[in-house]
Amino acid sequence: MPIDRKPEFFKGAQLKVAIIGCGYVGLPLALRFAEAGHKVTGFDTDPNKINMLNAGRSYIEHIPQTKIQQFVNSRHFGATDGFYSLEGRGRHPHLRADATGRAPRARPELCRANSYFDSAEPAEGPARGSGIYDVSRNHGRVGAANLRKEWLALPHCRRAGNDNVACDFWLAFSPEREDPGNKQYGLAQIPKVVGGVNPPSGRAAQSLYAQVVARVVPVSSTRAAEMAKLLENIFRCVNIALVNELKMLSLRMGIDIWEVIDAASTKPFGFMPFYPGPGLGGHCIPVDPYYLS
């Protein structure tokens, strides 16, 4: 029988938190929950990462090794590449921090993002008991979380004997806002946008994230949270591309683009400086606009 838990359960002390994906987004999130006193298991498909983490070593430049060692030694953090090692954590939060790829012809590769969840047996996967399945990293089309609910969450819950996604299984979207190496704004200081597929899901995710970030920003739905993430990244994509074009134009005209940007930045309203450089500010920035196609 499913355990009926209220969304406020996730305000509780020492939850068992599973972080799916231990990259530059998932690992800081895992360590932040460990710092808040929870028992955290990080899941990743790369055995080298798992071995390094369990030995208290870091493979991400801006994450200090001493911090990982601290939580491994205190048994607040451990890592695994075996999905079934997460068995028994179904009534506690599962937070996804894996990247959504792009298939040929620029189509979002949502099947890869869902594969970990879809491969689990309902008796031993995240649908067991009550829990949050929270997509905290990967972007997708607006409405992707609702599709996951229909395609994945509800069938798994029903096979496990749970028909009520509102009470027995919470599904939310909370986009990442990582800026690796930023010494001014770390994970704890950056506001967290949270939207649920229904009000109980939203409240559960808010209760959880309020323990690790200074401010939680609730929105009305997962669709609103997904669109907010796309807006943030497309804003950067458009403006970085624009300034790169203006840099090449200025070069042909014999104008110093840096001087131009500095001059325009003195306007106290209606302007934000962007600077030319290689790429578009991260692997996800050029991909996200296709999620509106």
Q: So which residues are the catalytic ones?
A: 284
pLDDT at 46: 94
Q: Which of 102-111, 243-252, 253-262 has the lowest mean pLDDT?
A: 102-111
Q: Tell me the pLDDT band of 180, cut-offs 50, 70 and 90.
A: confident
> How many whole angstroms separate alpha carbon 165 and alpha carbon 130?
9
In angstroms, the CA 2 to CA 5 distance is 9
Q: Provide the pLDDT for residue 9.
A: 78
Helix (H) or strand (E) holding 160, with range, is none
Mean pLDDT value of segment 205-226:
93
Mean pLDDT of the chain: 79
What pLDDT, in 10s, does the model give residues 93-137? Answer: 777 766 655 555 555 555 544 554 544 443 344 444 445 555 555
Return the minimum-mean-pLDDT range out of 150-164, 189-203, 227-241.
150-164
| CB-based burial label for 61 (10 Å; 0-12, 13-18, 19+) | exposed
pTM, rounded to two decimals: 0.80
pLDDT of residue 133: 57
Give the residue from 128, 20, 151, 136 showing the smallest Cα distance to 82. Answer: 20
For residue 227, the number of C-alpha atoms closer than 13 Å in the C-beta half-sphere is 8
Q: What confidence score (pLDDT) does residue 33 get?
A: 94
pLDDT for the residue numbered 210: 93
